[in-house]
Chain A
Amino acid sequence: DTAVSQTPKYLVTQMGNDKSIKCEQNLGHDTMYWYKQDSKKFLKIMFSYNNKELIINETVPNRFSPKSPDKAHLNLHINSLELGDSAVYFCASSQELAGSTDTQYFGPGTRLTVL
Chain B
Amino acid sequence: AQKITQTQPGMFVQEKEAVTLDCTYDTSDPSYGLFWYKQPSSGEMIFLIYQGSYDQQNATEGRYSLNFQKARKSANLVISASQLGDSAMYFCAMRELPTDSWGKLQFGAGTQVVVTP
A-B contact count (CB 8 A): 72
Q: Which residues does chain B contribute within 8 Å of A31, judged by CB atoms?
A: 103
- Please report the C-alpha to C-alpha distance between residue A35 and residue B104 in the assembled complex, in whole angstroms: 9
B109 touches A98 (CB 8 A): no
A11-40 interface (Cβ within 8 A of B): 31, 33, 35, 40
- Please report the C-alpha to C-alpha distance between residue A96 and residue B37 in the assembled complex, in whole angstroms: 18
Q: Does A64 have its Cβ within 8 Å of any Cβ on chain B?
A: no
B103 touches A42 (CB 8 A): no
Q: Which residues does chain A contribute within 8 Å of B101, judged by CB atoms?
A: 98
Q: How big is the A interface, by class?
A: 20 to 34
Q: Does B21 have its Cβ within 8 Å of any Cβ on chain A?
A: no
B103 touches A88 (CB 8 A): no
- Please report the C-alpha to C-alpha distance between residue A84 and residue B53 in the assembled complex, in whole angstroms: 36
Chain B nearest Cβ from A64, distance in angstroms: 16
Beyond contacts A55-B103, A108-B43: 15 other A-B pairs, Cβ-Cβ < 8 A, are: A33-B104, A45-B105, A50-B102, A55-B102, A56-B102, A90-B45, A98-B31, A98-B102, A102-B95, A103-B47, A104-B35, A106-B45, A106-B47, A109-B43, A111-B43
A97 touches B102 (CB 8 A): yes
| Closest chain A residue, CB of each to CB of B112 | A41
- Please report the C-alpha to C-alpha distance between residue A109 and residue B110 in the assembled complex, in whole angstroms: 17
Q: Which residues does chain A contribute within 8 Å of B104, judged by CB atoms?
A: 33, 45, 48, 56, 58
Q: Which residues does chain B contribute within 8 Å of A94, judged by CB atoms?
A: 103
Q: A41-B110, A43-B91, A56-B104 are in contact. Are A98 and B97 (CB under 8 A)?
A: yes
B70-96 interface (Cβ within 8 A of A): 89, 91, 93, 95
23 contacting pairs across A/B (C-beta < 8 A): A33-B104, A35-B105, A41-B109, A42-B107, A43-B93, A44-B107, A48-B103, A56-B103, A56-B104, A92-B45, A96-B103, A98-B95, A99-B98, A102-B33, A102-B103, A103-B47, A103-B50, A105-B47, A106-B37, A106-B45, A106-B46, A108-B44, A109-B44
